[in-house]
């Protein structure tokens, strides 16, 4: 009887975990990436990452799998992913498509890079940005993503918005036109792919959110930049 209860508890846990992280697995269409000998940081993107870290991981994994909250209606023209290391040495852009009938608001994507050095970076050194491919030129919508999600045990309660302020003195977000979130400097050297991290409570964006980014230089403020987030389910 005791053994049966133990088996039942374990089975219930497995089924619950499977339901929590149930996701449609997308097919990789293309990946263009490069590992540079010196940092190369361009002004193409200010919003560099939208990442929900894990609380616990299995050590030693080398699989780069991305779990992202991108519902089927946001995937009709493909899903694009940008991966950038904080030091600016690695950058990659991948495109994915649906593998079949989409039934989940979550997606799993295998990021298959030939650059072996990518696996040596820790999770807090990697920015991941997931968005519908049709918004690539004028980024307006992005999804929360988790890097190396194949070993997820538990997701954190916060989401990090990684920003390249291009050496602003300060930066902050306005969430849904009401709440201000101050961003903290991210120290990784002078030529960094992102230099501020803005931490949001995951509950703030469960059903989506509108972010407005402001960067301050002395007495002046850079033009406002906006981003709509697909919420985490």
CA angle 198, 205, 54 (to 5 degrees): 65
Strand partners for 172? 182, 214
Instruction: Determine the distance from the C-alpha atom of residue 66 to the mean position of all C-alpha atoms in its chain, rounded to a whole number.
Output: 8
Dihedral angle sign, alpha carbons of residues 28, 37, 41, 218: positive
Which is it for strands 141-143 and 54-56: parallel, antiparallel or unpaired? unpaired
- What is the per-residue pLDDT across 41-87, written as a single tens digit (0 to 9) for each? 665 679 999 999 887 655 545 578 999 998 898 888 999 999 999 98
In which element (H, E) is residue 142 found?
strand 141-143
Cut 0.75: pTM above it: yes
CB-based contact 163:47 (threshold 8 Å): yes
- pLDDT per position as a tens digit, 96-141: 998 878 888 899 999 999 999 999 998 889 999 999 998 766 788 9
The label of the residue with tokens 């050194």 reads 125
């Amino acid at each position: 009887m005791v053994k049966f209860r133990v088996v039942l508890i374990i089975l219930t846990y497995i089924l619950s975990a499977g339901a929590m992280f149930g996701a449609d697995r997308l097919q990789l269409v293309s990946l263009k990436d490069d590992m540079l000998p010196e940092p190369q940081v361009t002004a193409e993107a200010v919003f560099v990452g939208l990442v929900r870290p894990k609380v616990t991981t299995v050590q030693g994994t080398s699989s780069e799998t991305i779990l992202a909250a991108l519902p089927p209606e946001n995937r009709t023209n493909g899903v694009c992913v940008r991966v950038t290391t904080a030091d600016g040495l690695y950058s990659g852009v991948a495109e994915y498509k649906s593998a079949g009938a989409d039934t989940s608001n979550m997606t799993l994507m295998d990021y298959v890079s030939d650059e072996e050095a990518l696996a040596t970076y820790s999770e807090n050194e990697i920015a991941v940005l997931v968005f519908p491919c049709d918004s690539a030129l004028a980024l307006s919508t992005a999804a929360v993503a988790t890097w190396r999600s194949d070993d997820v045990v538990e997701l954190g309660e916060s989401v990090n918005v990684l920003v390249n302020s291009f050496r602003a003195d300060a930066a902050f977000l306005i969430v849904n036109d009401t709440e201000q979130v101050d961003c903290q400097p991210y120290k990784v050297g002078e030529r960094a792919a992102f230099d501020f991290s803005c931490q949001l409570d995951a509950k703030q964006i469960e059903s989506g959110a509108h972010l407005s980014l402001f960067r301050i230089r002395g007495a002046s403020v850079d033009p406002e930049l906006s981003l709509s987030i697909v919420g985490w389910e």
